[in-house]
Amino acid sequence: MSAFDAPGTGIAQIDGVEARRRQQAGALLIDVRDDAERALGTPDGAIGMPGERLPREIAALASPEREVLLLCAAGQRSLRAAQALRARGYHRVASVAGGFGRWLAAGLPVQAGALDADAQDRYARQLRLPEVGAAGQARLAAARVALVGAGGLGAPAALYLAAAGVGTLTLIDDDRVERSNLHRQVLHADARVGMAKVESARMTLAALNPKVQIVTRAARVQAANVEMLLGGHDVVIDGADNFPTRYLLAAASLRLRLPLVYGAVERFSGQVSVFDPRRADSPCYRCLFPEPPAAADAPNCAEAGVLGVLPGVIGVLQATEVLKLVLGIGTPLVGRLLLFDALGMRFRELLLPRDAACPGCGAAAHFSGYEDLVRLCTAAG
């Protein structure tokens, strides 16, 4: 039969062929599946509207006099949506029995989803998140992220951003792989000792996700090139291992109005924050560190040591903040400094308000050009 009532509901159920015939005769076909599900495709001519939103927004789509046909994955959600519409005075409502699966089996026309088959399979788990879905995945694919440092912090951040489908990753690092890097810089391998880090990283990331464009810049960030290296990106990750680079990134972030995702580690502790000059309430890096410390106060990893897993934790947190910024979800670490103690396995959060007297973003701050500071080492690598 092409039509029958669902037991106990009073809602008519029709098969896909009948739904297509009524659609062509003027009925409105609505696919009530979530955005992520519709990324796999949807019936030709159908309007996508998740079932939980439909009762609130149906008036903008159809009057109570128009026939409305509802379709989901297998036929259950469309029945519930039909009952909700019936309660709002829509009486010419029917549910498509068997949903999209049976529509496909009947060979009825389908319009392609926003994602190709590879993307649908590769990102299937995050596509199911309402905060991501096909629209969010498209935003990730369009995003351009600059990652300064392909070392301890940059390695985990790059891996997870590539895996998530960030469209373009620009890797900026002038260093070469050393064997002492390998216990924490998981982008690299023993066979690549002596290779440029950006090339080693490119090989690993391309193998993980060939869909992502990897741009390599085997260069040290300096006053003469910082804007050229960072311009045209949406977010910058600070995975640097020295204060001069960090201060250049801080200045360029403000000048280019680019969110800067900061991270640093030493021994068994790390910290993360987000400096977003697009927001009037956001501090900048110099609100945290107004002036570079003396060399004696800033030991590097070779001097102070670092637990290998620690940059992994901090780098993954940085990647998380990047994804939130690109997707526009959650609450970024703006105005907050997240501290991690690996030995105690504790996180602490400190408020980091904008400093009115900050030499970087304060009311009296004056930009007189980028400056190459005397190179100091920190414990970020």
Considering only CA atoms, which of 359, 373, 370, 381 is closest in space to residue 294?
A: 373
Instruction: Kindly provide the residue ranges of all beta strands, DSSP E only, lying in the chain, ordered along the sequence.
Output: 3-5, 12-14, 28-31, 42-43, 47-48, 68-71, 93-96, 110-111, 144-148, 168-172, 213-217, 235-238, 260-266, 269-275, 336-341, 346-351
Under 8 Å between Cβ of 310 and 265: yes
Q: Residues, the chain, total?
A: 381
Active-site entry in 301, 358, 361, 377: 301
Structure tokens at 261: 């995702």
Which pairs with CB-CB distance under 8 Å and at least 24 residues apart come from 123-132?
A: 123/164, 123/165, 126/164, 127/36, 127/39, 128/34, 128/36, 129/36, 130/34, 130/35, 130/36, 130/50, 131/327, 131/329, 131/330, 132/36, 132/327
**Has 301 been annotated as catalytic?**
yes
- Residues with catalytic function: 301
